[in-house]
A and B are shown apart, each in its own frame.
Chain A
Amino acid sequence: MGAAAGREIHDLEHERFLEEVHSFEFWFQSVEGYLAGTTYGHRTETADESPTGAVERQRLITVLSNYCIGEMAALEGASGLIAIAPNQLTKIFLSTQVADEGRHLEVLLHRMRELGVKHPAQEADRRASRSLKQFRAELLKLVQGRDWEAAIFAQNVILESLEFAVFRAHAEGADAITKEVLEGIIKDERRHIGFGENELGRRLHGAPHIRTRLTRVREELDHLVLSMLEDSSREIGVPPDQQGELARSYLQSVERLGFT
C-alpha cells in the first residue's frame, strides 16, 4: 500500500514531497513498520527488567509522569493547531500527530500502570514539574491566540526537540520495556520535528520578520526549557559532565532554523 511505496520520496519535487509526507498514507506506512507486533509500545516478549528498588522505581515513575504531561501538552497543542492550520494538507499532517501524541500518552500511562501505579493520570499530574506545567500553559496560550508560527515553533520545534533529546538520552540507559516504548516515540518525534522545521523554514524564508517574533517566544520559553532539561537530566541519571550534551542536542534543532 501507499503512494510513496517503491520510490525515493526525496527525489520528488517540493510540492509533491510535502503532499506525500503530510498525508495519512505516509503516516500509515511509517508507523506500520515499527508499531506492528507491539502492544502498548513494546513487544509482549520483551523481558521486564523494571527497577526493583523502591527509590529507582519511584524515580522512573516521576520521569514517566513528566513525559505524560509533556505528551498531554503536545496532544492539546496539536489538536488545537488543526483549527488554525492554513490548508488541508497541514490539517491532515497534524491529525496524524494528534494520534501519535495520544498514543504516546497512552503507552506512557500504561507503562506507569505496569510499574504499579493505580491511577496514572492523576499521579502524573501530581508529580510533574512546575516548569513543565507552565510550559504547557504557555503553549496553549499561543494556540488559543491563533498564532500559527509561534505555536508551531513552541510545539513542533521546542517541545518536540526537547522530548527527542531527553527520550534519546533516557533510552540509552533504560530498562528494556521503557527503552522500546521510548524508541517508538522517538521515531514519531522525528517526523513532527521535520514538519515543524519545514513549515517554519519556508515561512522564515518568505517573511524574515517572523524571526523577531519567534526569537521573543524562544526567550520567553527558554528558562522553562532549561529548567525542564535540568530536572530531566537529574531524574534519568545523566552524569553532570554529560548534561551539557543533552542541552546541545536540543539546541541543534532550534539552530537548524537559524536561532542561535
Chain B
Amino acid sequence: MADTIDAYSIQNWLESCPQSYLENTEYGHAAGEKEPDFFLQNEVLLEETIKATVQLVVGERCALSASSGLINAAPDEASRRFLATQTLDEARHVEVFTQRLYDLGVRKKDLEGTIQRYANPNLVKFAEVLLEKIDRKDFISGVVGQNIVLEGMAFSVFEMMYAMNESVNPKFAHTLSGTIADERRHVGFGENRIGSLIREHPEKRGEVEQMQKEMSYFMLATFADAFRNNRTVDELEAAGIERPHSQYQGVDLGVMAPEDMEQVLADTVLKEFKTRLGRIGIEYQTPTRP
C-alpha cells in the first residue's frame, strides 16, 4: 500500500496542482475571462445557469464536509494526508463555483438565500445519506460514498458540462477542467485505498451496497429534475441561438432533447459506478428509476 499511497502524498499534490494545472489561474480560469454576454443578458438563461451552479456548490459543500470528516476516521496517517489535500480541493471547488454565482450577478448577501431557493431537494437527500455515514465515522462507507459515488457522479457531470461549455463559455470550461482533474485523483484514491479495506471487512459489503443504491436513486432524481424542468433548450431556440454540437459519450448534445441528455448522463454514471465498484469488490445495486 505504501507505494500507492505515496502517489497521493501532499508533495505529489503540490507538484500536480498548484505547480501545474492551477498555475496562472484565478478562481480556476485564466485572468480576464468572463461569462458570455448572452447568458448574462437573457433572464431565463441566467436563472437556469444560476440554478445549475447552485447544485455544484451544494455538491461541493457536501464533498468538503465529507472529506474533512473522513480525516479523523481514517485508519492510517497516509490516508489522512491524502484526505487533507482532498479537503483543500473541495474547498477550492466550493470557492470557484461560489465565485461563479457572484460573476452571474448573485450578491454576496444573497448567497445563502439563493442556494436555499435553488438547491435540489433530491441532491440534499443524496448528501444526507453520505453525511450520516461520515457522522458515524464509518470510513469504508464514507470513502465509497464520497470518492466513488459522489466523485464519480461529479466527474461525469463536469465532463458533460465541459463538453457543453467548451465552445460557448471558455471561462467556465476552464474552471471545470481543473475540477475534473481533481475528481479523477479522488476517484483513484477511493479505488486504491478502499479495495483492501473491503477485503478486510467483508461484513461491510451489504451496508455499502445499500448506501450506493440509495445515493444512486437520489442522484437520478436530481438529474430528472435538472433536465426535465430546464428551460435552456427552449429559450435558446426561441432566441434563435444554435446549440453547440458538443460531443459527449459519442452523441451530439446539440441535437438532443433534455430527456435524452438525462438518459445519456445517467447511463454513463451508473456504468462507471458498476465498473469502479466491481474493482473494489462491491456488487453494484440497480437503483429504482424516479
Contacts and interface: CB of A to CB of B under 8 A. Distances in A.
Contacts of A35: 14, 18
B64 A91 contact: yes
Given A39-B11, A106-B10, A98 B18 contact: no
A1 interface: yes
B77 A24 contact: no
Interface stretch (A50-58, A77-85, A195-203, A249-257): A77-85
Interface in B87-115: 87-88, 90-92, 94-95, 98, 111
Contact of A101 (B13, B19, B84, B95): B84
Interface stretch (A25-33, A154-162, A227-235): A25-33
Interface stretch (B68-76, B192-200, B245-253): B68-76
B71 A88 contact: no
Interface string A1-31: 1110000000000000000000111001001
B131 to A, nearest CB: 9
B24 A82 contact: no
A105 B85 CA distance: 13
Contacts of A2: 26
A82 B87 contact: yes
B25 interface: yes
A99 B164 CA distance: 33
Contact of B68 (A1, A39, A82, A110): A82
A92 B94 contact: yes
Contact of A98 (B22, B26, B77, B88): B88
- Majority SS at the chain A contact face: helix
Contact of B10 (A3, A91, A102): A102
A75 B19 contact: no
B204 interface: no
Contacts of A106: 9-11, 81
Contacts of A94: 68
B95 A80 contact: no
B112 to A, nearest CB: 8
B80 interface: yes
A176 interface: no
Interface in A117-136: 121
Most B Cβ at <10 Å: residue of A32, A72, A99? A99
A98 B31 contact: no
B148 to A, nearest CB: 21
A25 B65 CA distance: 20
Interface size bracket, A side = 35 or more
A25 B19 contact: no
Interface size bracket, B side = 35 or more
A82 B65 contact: yes
B85 A99 contact: yes
A199 to B, nearest CB: 17
A138 interface: no
Given A79-B71, A102-B81, A95 B88 contact: yes
A76 interface: yes
Contact of B91 (A39, A92, A101, A102): A92
A157 B55 CA distance: 36
B9 A79 contact: no
B65 A1 contact: no
B139 to A, nearest CB: 13
Contacts of B88: 24, 95-96, 98-99
Contact of B25 (A1, A39, A96): A1
A197 B90 CA distance: 25
Contacts of A101: 84
Interface string B1-19: 0000000011101100011
A103 interface: yes
B94 A28 contact: no
B77 A105 contact: yes
A82 B86 CA distance: 13
A24 B18 contact: no
Contacts of B61: 88
B81 A105 contact: yes
25 contacts: A1-B26, A3-B27, A24-B95, A35-B18, A36-B19, A72-B77, A75-B80, A75-B84, A76-B71, A79-B72, A82-B87, A83-B65, A83-B69, A91-B94, A92-B95, A95-B68, A95-B91, A95-B92, A99-B13, A99-B85, A101-B84, A102-B84, A102-B85, A109-B77, A140-B72
Given A2-B26, A36-B19, A105-B80, 13 more contacts: A1-B24, A25-B26, A25-B27, A75-B80, A79-B71, A88-B61, A88-B98, A92-B95, A95-B68, A95-B90, A95-B91, A102-B85, A106-B11
